[in-house]
Copies of this chain bind each other. A is one copy, B any other.
Amino acid sequence: MSTVGYDIPATIGMPVAEVETPALILDLAAFNENLAIMREALARYGVRLRAHGKAHKCPEAAKRQLLTGGATGICCQKLSEAEAFANAGIDDILIANEVTQPAKIERLAALATRIRLGVCVDDKAAATRLSEAATRHGANIACYVEVNVGAGRCGIAAGTPAAELAAHIAELPGLSFEGLQAYHGPAQHIRGLAERETAIGGALDRVRETLAALGARCIPCPTVTGAGTGSFAYEAASGLYQEMQAGTYAFMDVDYGRIEPLAGLTPFRNSLFVLASIMSTAIPGQAVCDAGLKSLAVDSGLPSVFGRGDIVYTGASDEHGVIRDPDGTLKINDQVRLIPGHCDPTCNLYDHMVVVEGDRVVDIWTIDARGKSF
């Protein structure tokens, strides 16, 4: 039997005031609104959504995106993450990343016999090893050539090198060339719209160059996939991309809250919070809450306190958050809702998402892919 506060933070029907903290909570109404905003945007631009499961690692959240949010598939970053989503019944997954370790390639090929599975490739020898495993397993692995469209991380150079890799893949048994992975991560977080559009403009140029090189070789490119919450309107409007990979849109976080919203779209709302409790007010002018570095990812900055302009989360240690409270409004056991600095690695700290409507817990979703970084 699960113990509340040890194994799980809440039970269904419980008032939010009784949830054991720190807990990851999802405001279901705001989440559903974000899904609706995205669904309408997809329809307007005529593009598909492959919702990024790395944002939440939670199959139930992914199912909502598929059933009511207009998504036609999901993507994730790691093989073990894909396995977790597949084990929960999701059957169309793109690993938007390279998979190269020999044991992982075996498992990837095995998974590809169960679901429609895609993976990214930026190296010829890696493609050959995928083909050998696919052949052994009697699988087909959908391969996307990852192109470096400006992120400078993984991805082969645009144009001829990418087209040559696509040609190599197209000739290999067990693999199909399904398109281009063209995601510009850093551009998502550029604050100003004009600068962001310029960065995405550079990505579009590299996609065009690669599509031309593919065309010159008569290699059809079924899908160009990429784009995130910060930029997807540009990729969607370009006519070059068929598939978006946004994930954060469903939740939002402090970092995405800092950027200028895409024009012509209803801004996404914060739906994801870390619920924390005050545990000390011993020092005047501050309160200390029970959510620190082990409950909140701070790589993109500290959390902010939702709905409170008068108090500021100013410092995190392992299990403490210091909140500046000049008026001394916070008392021991008061709850605060913290907007995480970065939603993806914050979700990865929790086994459960506590779903709330108003002041009531209405569901508990398991974060099955938490820790699945293999």
Which residues from chain A sit less than 8 Å from chain B, CB to CB? 4-6, 9, 18, 20-22, 54, 77-80, 83, 97-104, 107, 122-123, 125-126, 146, 148, 152-157, 185, 277-283, 286, 288, 290-291, 293-295, 297-299, 316-320, 322, 332-333, 342, 344-345, 348-351, 370-374
Contact = CB atoms under 8 A, between A and B. Distances in A.
A125 B79 CA distance: 50
Contacts of A280: 98, 100, 122-123, 153-155
A157 B6 CA distance: 32
Interface majority SS on A: helix, strand, loop or mixed?
loop
A123 B280 CA distance: 8
Given A100-B279, A155-B280, A350-B371, 10 more contacts: A5-B103, A54-B318, A97-B279, A100-B280, A101-B277, A148-B282, A148-B283, A152-B322, A293-B299, A318-B345
Nearest to A288: B154
A280 B107 CA distance: 19
Nearest to A367: B371
Nearest to A335: B101
Contact of A101 (B21, B281, B298, B322): B21
B100 A277 contact: yes
Contact of A185 (B98, B123, B317, B370): B317
A194 to B, nearest CB: 24
Nearest to A157: B282
Interface centre among A9, A78, A101, A293, by most B CB within 10 Å? A101
A22 B81 CA distance: 13
Interface centre among A18, A283, A374, by most B CB within 10 Å? A374
A101 B349 contact: no
A136 to B, nearest CB: 17
Contacts of A122: 280, 282
Contact of A21 (B146, B153, B290, B374): B374
A372 B98 CA distance: 32
Contacts of A154: 279-280, 282, 288, 320
What are the 10 tightest A-B residue pairs by CB atom distance, in nearest-first order?
A: A154-B280, A77-B319, A122-B282, A293-B345, A98-B279, A294-B348, A156-B282, A100-B279, A5-B374, A295-B373
